[in-house]
Amino acid sequence: MPPKKKNQQPVKVSSAVVHPTPIELPSSEPILTKEQVAERLLSRVANFRWLVLRWCCKVAKDVLGVATMKEFVCPKCNSLVDQPKKRWWSGWRYCPNGHVLYVRGLGPSLEQSFWKSFLKGLAPAICVFLLIVFALAAAPDVPPRLRGSMAPSTGFVVAIFYLLTGLSLLRKAHLWAGRSGPVQRLVTHARGRAYGFLAAVACQLGIIIALLFAK
């Protein structure tokens, strides 16, 4: 008799505990229809895919970053920066002393060959110039009296802008060439870009003169 009583007691307790759960479970399960379950699963899969994609992007960026990692030169400190920090809001790199590693008219302060830099200066400058000039020449709402002179005069302003940028880069290159140290590595880059701009200015002046004569 005593063992039966002992057996009965745990059964009662366990039944008291087990009972609420079978009631709760059926009540919570019918809320989700098959479609809702499928929807949840799909959203989870989508989340997972998104995470994987983001992770892949990050890895690819890191790998490519390592593969194409070059040494930045800080022109202000006159030193090499092998692991520049990045500002999270602008994406600009900066040296340990807080100087931004970009040069106006030049881009990232990296070493670059003369001709690569030259083409990078020449091609965009001519493209920008042609876009502006032809947009103005084809603009329908320009008064007829100004139509002939509007495009060449604006083109002239653009050409002067590139001329000044090129000259300031030449001056920078000249200053850097006079300093000893890692900043010398930027001289070729700056000279190439400066001569690219100046060559673009020559082309732009040619186009302006052609436009003036075509009038």
Rounded CA gap, 133 and 73, in Å?
Answer: 37
Coil, helix or strand at residue 183: helix
Q: Which of 6, 12, 19, 76 binds Zn ion (CB under 5 A)?
A: 76
Nearest distance, CB of residue 191 and Zn ion, angstroms? 22
**Nearer of residues 94 and 118 to Zn ion, judged by Cβ:** 94
Nearer to Zn ion, 12 or 76 (CB): 76
Name the one range near Zn ion by CB under 5 A: 38-46, 75-83, 129-137, 200-208.
75-83
With a CB cutoff of 8 Å and minimum separation 6, the contacts of 79 are 73, 95, 181, 182
CA distance 81 to 96: 8
**Beta-carbon neighbour count of residue 80 at 10 Å?**
15
Q: Which of 8, 9, 90, 97 binds Zn ion (CB under 5 A)?
A: 97
Reduce the DSSP state of residue 78 to 3 states and report it.
coil
To Zn ion, the closest distance from the beta carbon of 96 in angstroms equals 7
Residue 80 interacts with Zn ion (CB under 5 A): yes or no: no
Among 73, 74, 106, 194, binds Zn ion (CB under 5 A): 74
Please give the structure tokens belonging to residue 84: 């520049």
Instruction: Yes or no: say if 159 and 206 are a contact pair by the CB < 8 Å rule.
Output: no
| Least CB distance to Zn ion at residue 76 (A) | 5
Under the binding rule (CB under 5 A), the answer on residue 100 touching Zn ion is no
Instruction: Decide if residue 77 touches Zn ion (CB under 5 A).
Output: yes
Q: Rule CB under 5 A: say whether 99 interacts with Zn ion.
A: yes
Q: How far apart are CB 95 and Zn ion at their closest, in Å? A: 3
* Count of positions on this chain that bind Zn ion (CB under 5 A): 6
87 neighbors 164 (Cβ within 8 angstroms): no
Under rule CB under 5 A, residue 137 binds Zn ion: no
Give the separation between CA 188 and CA 115, rounded to whole angstroms: 9
Stretch that binds Zn ion, among 31-39, 50-58, 92-100, 176-184 (CB under 5 A): 92-100
Report in angstroms the alpha-carbon separations of 38 from 10, 27, 52, 203.
Answer: 40, 19, 21, 64
Work out whether strand 93-94 and strand 85-86 pair parallel, antiparallel, or are unpaired.
antiparallel
Contact flag: residue 95 with Zn ion (CB under 5 A): yes
Residue 44 interacting with Zn ion (CB under 5 A): no
Could you say whether residue 113 binds Zn ion (CB under 5 A)?
A: no
Q: Which residues sit at the interface with Zn ion, rule CB under 5 A?
A: 74, 76-77, 95, 97, 99
